[in-house]
Structures are given as structure tokens and as C-alpha cells.
Chain A
Amino acid sequence: ETGVTQSPTHLIKTRGQQVTLRCSSQSGHNTVSWYQQALGQGPQFIFQYYREEENGRGNFPPRFSGLQFPNYSSELNVNALELDDSALYLCASSPPRGTSGRENEQFFGPGTRLTVL
């Protein structure tokens, strides 16, 4: 069983640029969530995708956008990068609802470390 994978591992951008981060969900998982983890903090929810539709959004501006594809992989796009966007971006997938006892678990990828200069 392949776990959640993310690419790239590390990325350096400058202010004002745009970035796309990618996530492949765990096999059989149809829900993907994205989180931002700043240094010394817990992960903060950005948004969630379920069956290619946005299914909840945290307190992030519209320049944070996403997509989910038919194979349930996902992208996170951030426009007009700011210095404060420097963080670890985590993708998590979870199994279909009704999966016995496991649907509340979110399985995280290793993250993409974004540095904005």
C-alpha cells in the first residue's frame, strides 16, 4: 500500500511569485486535506477536497486555491507569495466514509518545505 506522497520536497521562491504543490493520496482514499505548519506551531487547516469538490476551508485568503483530480490526487496553488507563507505544507488523505473505524484518520505525507525570500 503506497502512502501519501508530496512533491517537491523543498522549494524556494521569491515574494510575488506563484507556487504549485502536489499530493498523491493513499490508495483508496478519496478525501484530501491541506495544512500549513509554521515553525513551532501545529498544522493549520487550509482546505479539504472530497470527490473533486472543495469541502471546507480554513481561514486562508483566496490566493490559496486547490484542485482535486479524478484519481484523487491534489494540488495546492498559492499566488502572490508573501514572506509569511514560508512553512511546511502538509497533505493528508482519508479513506471513504463508512470505512469501518478508519474514516476519522487522516494520513499525512512528508510535506513540502516552502521558503519565500
Chain B
Amino acid sequence: DQQVKQNSPSLSVQEGRISILNCDYTNSMFDYFLWYKKYPAEGPTFLISISSIKDKNEDGRFTVFLNKSAKHLSLHIVPSQPGDSAVYFCAASRYQGGKLIFGQGTELSVKP
């Protein structure tokens, strides 16, 4: 039972444009949502998070949107840069510091 899903295995975007990565979840008990970026041969790197009491959180070029009624979250990267090319994972947990349930990942390719 995949509680967190990223339905797009890959995404290709032109440098300078917006990248939108999507994530759906099924468990309404999730209270915290996080995005991680992963380069080959490295562990995931934390990008940005949001709690269920908010619907938007921004950090520089990264914005996460949460739609609780649709059980959907998205990560927007504006403007996209070639260095953003990596695999992006969304993750969810029921409480702060709790176990993370990850999606399958979306490989983002930003072309110059």
C-alpha cells in the first residue's frame, strides 16, 4: 500500500522556467510533509517542509503548496537551474521527528 505517491518518474524543464513536482498521499493522519533532493552517490538532502496547518511555505526559489482536501502537495522551483537536476522525493510523517514515508521519486532534468 503506497501511502505517498509521485506519479511522474521524470520531468524535463528548460533553465529559467518553473519546475513543478507533484505528490499525492492517502493517509489523512499525516501532519508533516517534506521534500528531499538526492544526487547519485549521496544521501537525500532536506529542501523544505510544511505542516498541515499551513497551505504554503517558501524558501528562496522553492515553494511547497499543500492541498489537504485533495491530499496533494507540490514543489515549485522558480527559476530552475541546471544544478537543480536530481531526484526529488516527497515524504510525509504523522508527527514531528516521526518515521518518514517516501514517494518513489521524480527525476528532474533542467536543460540549459
Contacts and interface: CB of A to CB of B under 8 A. Distances in A.
A72 B51 CA distance: 27
Nearest to A48: B99
Contacts of B104: 40-42
B25 interface: no
Contact of B96 (A41, A97, A107): A97
Interface stretch (A14-22, A74-82, A98-106): A98-106
A33 interface: yes
A110 B40 CA distance: 10
Contacts of A106: 46, 97, 100
Contact of A104 (B41, B97, B101, B103): B97
A104 B34 contact: yes
Nearest to A41: B104
B101 A105 contact: no
Contact of B49 (A56, A58, A104, A107): A104
Given A45-B99, A45-B101, A105-B46, A110 B41 contact: yes
Categorize the interface residue count of chain B. Answer: 20 to 34
A57 to B, nearest CB: 9
A90 B99 contact: no
Interface residues of A, number: 26
B37 to A, nearest CB: 11
B99 A58 contact: yes
Given A42-B104, A43-B89, A108 B45 contact: yes
A51 B100 CA distance: 19
B43 A103 contact: no
Nearest to A42: B102
B44 interface: yes
Contact of A110 (B34, B43, B49, B96): B43
28 contacts: A33-B99, A33-B100, A35-B102, A40-B104, A42-B4, A43-B44, A45-B99, A45-B100, A45-B101, A48-B99, A56-B98, A90-B43, A90-B44, A92-B43, A92-B100, A97-B96, A97-B97, A104-B34, A104-B93, A104-B97, A105-B46, A105-B49, A106-B46, A106-B97, A107-B46, A108-B43, A111-B42, A111-B43
